[in-house]
C-alpha cells in the first residue's frame, strides 16, 4: 500500500472523529488528532495542559506555536513515517504552511472536507456526550449518556465544556474566520475533495474511500 498523508477538515461536529477512526483502520495509518492530544495534556495537567486549559474551555484556538510544536514532535515518531491522518490540524494558514515544511517532499496527499451546514453541527454538538476515558461518542438520549457510564470501557460519559452553547458559537465563528480559508488554499493545489457530511456515517465513509481509490492513493 502506498504511503499517503491525509487531512480531514470540517466544522466542529462534522463527524471528523468517527470518519478518521475508520480511515485509519482501513489504511493502517496513525490517527493524529490535536484536540485529543491537547485534552490528554489538560487531563494530565502537564505544563502544556496548564497553558491551554482555559483557552480550550472557552472554545478558542491554541496558538500556532504550541500546536505546530506538538505536531512536529509527533511526526518524528516512527509510525508517522508510513503516512498519517491529521484530524483537527491544520486549522490556520500558519499551521498549514508549517505542515508543508514539516512534511517536506512527501507533502499532503489529499484533503477531505466534511461539509455540513452550521445548523446541523450545532444540533449535533449540543447533543454530544463523550467518554472521558476512551473517547466513545454518544447522543444525550443514549443509555450510556443518561447513566453516565461508557458501554465500551466503563469510563465517565460527560458533556465537553466546549460543547456548551456559547463555546459552540465561538468555535464555529473561529472555524469560519481561521479555518475556512484553508479550503481555497488546498483547492488551488488540486488537493481538496468535498464530501457531504450530512449523510449517514457509512455513506460518508464510502464516499471518502471512493475518492482515495480514484486518486490512486491506496
Ligand atoms: P472541535 O474541533 O470539535 O472543537 P477538537 O477536539 O478538534 O474539537 O479540538 C478541541 C480544542 O482543542 C479546540 O477548540 C482548540 O481549542 C484546541 N485545538 C485542537 N486542534 C487545534 C489546532 N490545530 N489549533 C489550535 N487549537 C486547536
Model pTM? 0.92
Is the minimum distance from the CB of 89 to ligand 1 under 6 angstroms? yes
Q: Residue whose CA is closest, atom 1 of ligand 1?
A: 12
**Confidence bin at 3 (pLDDT 50/70/90):** confident
- Nearest alpha carbon to residue 195 among 181, 214, 176, 177: 214
Q: What is the three-class DSSP state of 22?
A: helix
User: Mean pLDDT in the chain?
Assistant: 95
Q: Which residue among 41, 61, 129 is best mutated to probe the pocket of ligand 1, counting the most ligand atoms within 8 A of its Cβ?
A: 61
* 176 and 183 Cβ atoms separated by less than 8 Å: no
DSSP state of 4: -
Q: What is the mean pLDDT of residues 195-213?
A: 97
Is the minimum distance from the CB of 15 to ligand 1 under 6 angstroms? no
Contact residues for 47 (Cβ-Cβ < 8 A; gap 6+): none
Q: What is the mean pLDDT of residues 211-215?
A: 96
Residue in this structure with the C-alpha cell 496558538, named with its chain if needed:
63
Q: Is 113 exposed, middle or buried (0-12, 13-18, 19+ CB in 10 A)?
A: buried
Give 110-167 pLDDT, tens digit per residue: 999 999 999 999 999 999 999 999 989 999 999 999 999 999 999 999 999 999 999 9
Q: With a cut of 70, say whether residue 65 has pLDDT above it.
A: yes
DSSP state of 149: B
Q: Say what the pLDDT of residue 82 is.
A: 87
Q: What is the mean pLDDT of residues 45-68?
A: 96
CA distance 184 to 206: 24
Residue in this structure with the C-alpha cell 449540543, named with its chain if needed:
126
171 is catalytic: yes
Q: Specify the higher pLDDT residue, 1 or 133.
A: 133
* 155 and 131 Cβ atoms separated by less than 8 Å: yes
Q: Say what the pLDDT of residue 2 is.
A: 60
Q: Say what the pLDDT of residue 172 is.
A: 95
Which grid coordinates are listed for 16?
471528523
Q: Work out the percent of the chain whose per-residue pLDDT is above 70.
A: 99
Amino acid at each position: 500500500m502506498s504511503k499517503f498523508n491525509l487531512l480531514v477538515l470540517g466544522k466542529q461536529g462534522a463527524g471528523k472523529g468517527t470518519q478518521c477512526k475508520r480511515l485509519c483502520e482501513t489504511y493502517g495509518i496513525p490517527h493524529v488528532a490535536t484536540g485529543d492530544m491537547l485534552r490528554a495534556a489538560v487531563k494530565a495537567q502537564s505544563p502544556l495542559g496548564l497553558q491551554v486549559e482555559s483557552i480550550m474551555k472557552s472554545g478558542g484556538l491554541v496558538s500556532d506555536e504550541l500546536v505546530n510544536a506538538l505536531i512536529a514532535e509527533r511526526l518524528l515518531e516512527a509510525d508517522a513515517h508510513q503516512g498519517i491522518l491529521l484530524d483537527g490540524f491544520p486549522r490556520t494558514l500558519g499551521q498549514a504552511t508549517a505542515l508543508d515544511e514539516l512534511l517536506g517532499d512527501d507533502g499532503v496527499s489529499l484533503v477531505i472536507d466534511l461539509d455540513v451546514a452550521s445548523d446541523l453541527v450545532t444540533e449535533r454538538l449540543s447533543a454530544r456526550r463523550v467518554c472521558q476515558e476512551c473517547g466513545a461518542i454518544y447522543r444525550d438520549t443514549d443509555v450510556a449518556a443518561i447513566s453516565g457510564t461508557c458501554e465500551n470501557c466503563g469510563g465517565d460519559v460527560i458533556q465537553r465544556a466546549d460543547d456548551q452553547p456559547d463555546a459552540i458559537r465561538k468555535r464555529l465563528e473561529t472555524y469560519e474566520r481561521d479555518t475556512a480559508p484553508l479550503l481555497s488554499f488546498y483547492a488551488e493545489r488540486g488537493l481538496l475533495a468535498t464530501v457531504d457530511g450530512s449523510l449517514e456515517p457509512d455513506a460518508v465513509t464510502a464516499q471518502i474511500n471512493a475518492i482515495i481509490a480514484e486518486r490512486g492513493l491506496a
